[in-house]
Chain A
Amino acid sequence: MSLSLPLPKSARLPALLLAILILAVLAGPLLFPHAYQLPGSDTYAPPSTSHLCGTDLNGRDLLLRILEGGRISLLVGICGAAISLLIGTTYGLIAGSSGSGVDNSMMRFVDILYSVPRLIFILIFINAFNERLQLAASNHGWDWLVSSSRLVILILSLGFIEWLTMARIVRGQTLTLRERSYVAAARVLGEGYWKILWRHLLPNMTGIILVYLTLAIPSVIIDEAFLSFLGLGVQAPQSSWGSLLAEGAASINPLKGAWWLILFPSLALLATLLAIYSLGDALRRSLSR
C-alpha cells in the first residue's frame, strides 16, 4: 500500500505539474470574459497580450480552446483508463488464479490482441455504432447522450482496447501472490475463490495497479488524440487536443505559417503526458525499492 505513504521526493514535481494542469483546465475557462467564447474578427492573430496563444481561423482565442479541449482530453483519458483498469484487473485476476490451462489460453488471447491493430477496429466500430446510439438515445429521450454520443462511445471503446497491459501485470502479480502463506491459510480456512481474490489478492496489488494507471491514462489520451486528429474521434462543436492539432496541421503552409496553432496544443499534450509518465516512473522506482 505504498500510495498511502507520502509521495516520494522525485514524484513531487510531476505531481505538482499535473495538479496545476488539471486546475488550469477545470478553472481556467471560467476566467475568460464571455466575448472570448465567440468567433472574433481577429483571425490568425499571432500571440499577443490580449491573446496569449494567438487566435485560430475563426478568431477564437487559442488558449481558451486549449483549456476547454483539455477537459475533453483528460476526461476521456481518465474514464477510459478507469474502464481498462476494471477489465484488465478482472481478467488478470481470473487468469492468474485459474490454473495453467485456462491461464495459457487467456494469455494467448491477450498476445493475439497485442499484435492486431486494435485502434483500426475501434475506428470502424465508432463509425458503425455512433448513429445507432444516437438514434436509440433520442428514442428514449436521453438528450445528454444524443449530444455527446460520440464521446461516450469513444471512452467505452478506448477502455475496451487498453486493458491488455494491465491484465498482464495483474496476472503476473496474482501468480506470485497466490503462493504466499496467507493465501494458503485463507484457503485452508475454507474461504471461497472470489473472497480470496477480493479480500487477499486485490488489496495487495493496489500499489502496482495504481502505478500502471499512469501508463493507461496517457495511452488513452494518445489514442483519443490519434482518432480526433484523423477527424474520426471528437467532433465539432466539441474539441480536444487531438482535433486542435489537426486544425493546426491543416493550417501549415510555407506562405503563412500559423505556428502557434501547432506549438501550443503540442505543448499542452506534451506537458500532460510528461507529467503523468514521470509521476509513474517515480512511483515505480519507489515501489520496487
Chain B
Amino acid sequence: MLRRLASLPVVLFCVVTITFFLIRLSPGGPFDSERKIPEAIEKQLLAKYKLDGPLMGQYTGYLRDLIHGDLRLSTKYRNRSVNEILAQTLPVTLTLGATAFLIAFVIGVWLGSFAAARPGTIAEGGALALTLLAISLPSFVLGPLLILIFSIKLAWLPVGGWGSPLQLILPAVTLAIPYAAVIARLLHDSLKETLAEDFVRTARAKGLSERAVVFRHALRVAILPVISYLGPLAANLLTGSIVVETIFHIPGAGGFFVNSILNRDGFLLGGVVIVYCVLLVVFNLMVDLSYRLLDRRIRES
C-alpha cells in the first residue's frame, strides 16, 4: 500500500510533464490571430503569461507554480486565473459525475444480481440482452435520443441547462446507462461463479431464503470485480462528462476543456487535465484501499 502511495507523485509528475510538452510543442501560440499584434505587445503578453524564455525554463517554472497550487492564468479568458475557472466549473462536473456514478452502481448491481439469481430463465436472458443494448448506446447517441423523447416530444424534462434537480436527471442518466450495463454484466458473471461455491451451498443448507443467500452471503464476495472496476469507471465518467456537458449545455469543466483545445489556451487545458488526473489517482487509491479491506475481511471470515 505504501508503494502505491509513493507512486502517486511519480504518476502526477509524468502527467504534468506529458501535458506540458504536448501543449507547448503544438504549433501556433495562444496569441496567434487574424490580426497581427505588434511585437512589443506580444512580448509583454508572453512575459505576463510566463511563456517567454527557453522551454526548459518555462517547464521548471510551471512545475514550481503547480507545487504552490497556482494553475496560472487563462490566455483566452483574460484576467481570469485557471484556479478561478475550475473553482466555478468543477463542482458542476463533479455533481454530474457523482450522480451518474451512483446511478450506474445502483442500477448495475441490482440488474446484475437480478439476472444471476434467475439462472436459465427468460428474465436472465432478457436482462442480459438489455445490458448488451445499453452498452451499445454511448452517451452521444443516448443523450440526443433522450432529449428528443423526453424534452421535445413529451416535454417532461428540460432540454438542458443547470441549476435545478430536474435538469440533472437526463444528463446523469445519459452518462450512467452504458456503465450500469457494464457493472451488471461484471456482477452477473462473478455472482454466478460465486453461487456455485461451497459456502453458498452451506448457506442454502442452513435453510436461508434465496434472497438472503444472494444478498447477504454471495454478493459480498462477488462484488469484488465490480469494486476494482470503479477506478476505470470514474475515469470513463469524467471523460464522458465532456460530451454530456456539451449535449445538455451544462457549464462544467468539460466545455472549458474542449474550448481550451480549440483556443490553444494551454494553462487552462493543463489545469483541467492535471486536476482530473489528481482526482482520479486519489480516487483509485481509495478504491484500492477499500478493495484490500473487503478482500481481507472476506478471507478472514
Contacts and interface: CB of A to CB of B under 8 A. Distances in A.
B interface majority secondary structure: helix
Contacts of B132: 274, 277-278, 281
B186 to A, nearest CB: 13
Nearest to A229: B140
Contacts of A125: 22
A236 interface: no
B231 A117 contact: no
B26 interface: yes
A115 B280 contact: yes
A274 B136 contact: yes
Given A229-B140, A230-B243, A117 B23 contact: no
B235 interface: yes
A114 B236 CA distance: 10
Interface in A87-135: 108, 112, 114-121, 123-125, 127-129, 131-132
Given A115-B280, A116-B280, A225-B140, A127 B261 contact: yes
Contacts of B269: 124
A113 B66 CA distance: 22
Contacts of A123: 261
Contacts of A273: 135-136
A254 interface: yes
Interface residues of A, number: 45
B273 A120 contact: yes
Contacts of B235: 114-118
A115 B19 contact: no
Nearest to A129: B26
A242 B239 CA distance: 16
Nearest to A221: B138
B94 to A, nearest CB: 14
A129 B242 CA distance: 22
Interface in A238-273: 242, 245-246, 248-249, 252, 254, 257, 259, 262-263, 266, 269-270, 273
Contacts of B136: 218, 269-270, 273-274, 277
A281 B129 CA distance: 11
Contacts of A128: 22-23, 25-26
A212 to B, nearest CB: 15
Q: Which of B22, B23, B151 has the most CB of A within 10 A?
A: B22
A257 B19 contact: no
Contact of A117 (B18, B141, B145, B239): B239
Nearest to B15: A116
Contacts of B145: 262-263, 266
A270 B144 CA distance: 14
A195 B295 CA distance: 39
A152 interface: no
A266 B144 contact: yes
B148 A270 contact: no
A36 interface: no
B280 A124 contact: no
Contacts of B19: 121, 124
A166 to B, nearest CB: 15
Contact of B152 (A112, A232, A254): A254
A114 B228 CA distance: 11
Contacts of A108: 7
Interface of A: 108, 112, 114-121, 123-125, 127-129, 131-132, 218, 222, 225-226, 229-232, 242, 245-246, 248-249, 252, 254, 257, 259, 262-263, 266, 269-270, 273-274, 277-278, 281
23 contacts: A115-B232, A115-B280, A116-B235, A116-B280, A117-B239, A120-B239, A124-B26, A127-B261, A128-B23, A128-B25, A218-B136, A226-B140, A229-B140, A232-B258, A232-B261, A248-B144, A249-B144, A252-B159, A262-B148, A266-B145, A269-B136, A270-B136, A273-B136
Interface of B: 7, 11, 15, 18-19, 22-23, 25-28, 132-133, 135-138, 140-141, 143-145, 147-148, 151-152, 159, 231-232, 234-235, 238-239, 242-243, 246-247, 257-258, 261-262, 269, 273, 276-277, 280-281, 283-284
Given A127-B26, A245-B144, A278-B132, 14 more contacts: A114-B232, A115-B231, A115-B235, A115-B284, A116-B235, A117-B277, A120-B273, A124-B26, A124-B261, A127-B261, A248-B144, A257-B152, A277-B132, A281-B132
